[in-house]
Each structure stands twice: as structure tokens, then as C-alpha cells.
Amino acid sequence: MKQSNIRVIAGTAKGARLYCLEGEKIRPALARVKKSIFDIIRIYVPEAVTADLFAGTGSIGIEALSRGAKSCVFVENDHECSQVIRKNLDKLRLENASIISNANAFSFAALATRNKWAFDLIFINPPYRHLDAPAERESFLKMLEGITADNILNPDGLIVVEHGTGQLDDTEFHGLVLSDRRDYDDTQVSFYARKQPAEIRNT
């Protein structure tokens, strides 16, 4: 474990450097991608109940907490990565607003249902290879279906997915609608909201 060049961009922990693992085990969000995400969703963050799936260092969830989110559940199945998240939260004194779940993010819907959790913002940053492998892609889509079917995403909430270019199309699926998409070289960020009933959308 070492201190990295990954920094909190804004908020109460602005400028703080985060710990990360040695080597290439994790793929932290690029600073410009993270900044763009939070510029786009800035009105959603204050007091939001958030989740950071495939959390890695916890960089995205920590950024949300620094900017005023009420709480964050970090879901990361790698034990060493979970320890890094804990060390970062302790360093920034954010542990009281956080839960670390050493679980497979694909089982997030079941985990949230069991704990009766509901979220305003859900950040999903899977290894890009997951969306290219048929079995893991299917698990990803089932996870989204579970999130919407079990009302884990609050009615006005957002799901923010970082993925490789072209890995997700524009199709509405599982009760979600693509509300925005941004391109950053070989990375795309897709923003999904709950699909509103027609009588609401057309008023």
C-alpha cells in the first residue's frame, strides 16, 4: 500500500492524496473524468445516500462524501482493496459516514435488499473487460435489473456507469433511461435515471 497521485478534487477533503495498492491491481478513475462526472451531477450530491460499486481505492465515493453526500456504501470484493478504502476513510475521518462491504458487486441488489438500503446515487465502475465477456456482461445487466426492480434506486436517483467506448448502447432497459453520456478518449460515462411513466414524461 502506498500514497498515490490520486487526489480528492473538491470539498472538505480537497487536495488529500489517497492510498492505493502497489502495481496494476486497480484502475482509478482519471482525474478529468472524475471532475467531469461531479460537475454534471453537482446538484444531486449534497445529502445524497450513495454507493460506490467496484470501488477500488474508494476514490469516487470519497469524492462524493467530500462534496457533501450524506453516506456511502463501498462495495469491493478484493480484501486488499477493501483495506485501502478503510485506510483512506480513516485518514480523511469519513468512516462514520461509510460502510465497506467486502462483497461481489454483481450481488449488490441482493445485498441492498437484505439491508433495506435505497440510494440517490449509485456509481458503477467495473473493469472494462467485464462488459466484453458474455457471462459477466449478463451479470452486470441482471444487477441493473435488480436495482430497479427492488426499488434500490430512489425515484429521482441516478446511476453513473463508467465503461469502455461502445460497450453500452442507447437502449432503455430494466426501467432505466439514458439521460446523458459523455466521451473521454476510450472511456464513456453513462448516466441512467428511472424511466418515468408516460403521463409524467409528457406533461
In the sheet with 98-101, reading across from the earlier edge strand, the strands are 98-101, 71-75, 49-53, 119-124, 153-164, 187-194, 176-184
d(CA 120, CA 54): 18
- The ranges assigned to domains in the chain are 2-201
Q: What percent of the chain has pLDDT over 70?
A: 88
DSSP 77-107: --HHHHHHHHHHHHHHT-GGGEEEE-S-GGG
pLDDT, position 66: 97
pLDDT, position 91: 95
Query: What are the cell numbers at 62?
Result: 470519497
Nearest to 156 by CA among 68, 83, 49: 49
Q: Global pTM?
A: 0.89
CATH 3.40.50.150 for domain 2-201, yes or no, is: yes
Q: Which residues of the chain have pLDDT under 50?
A: 24-26, 197-203
pLDDT, position 158: 95
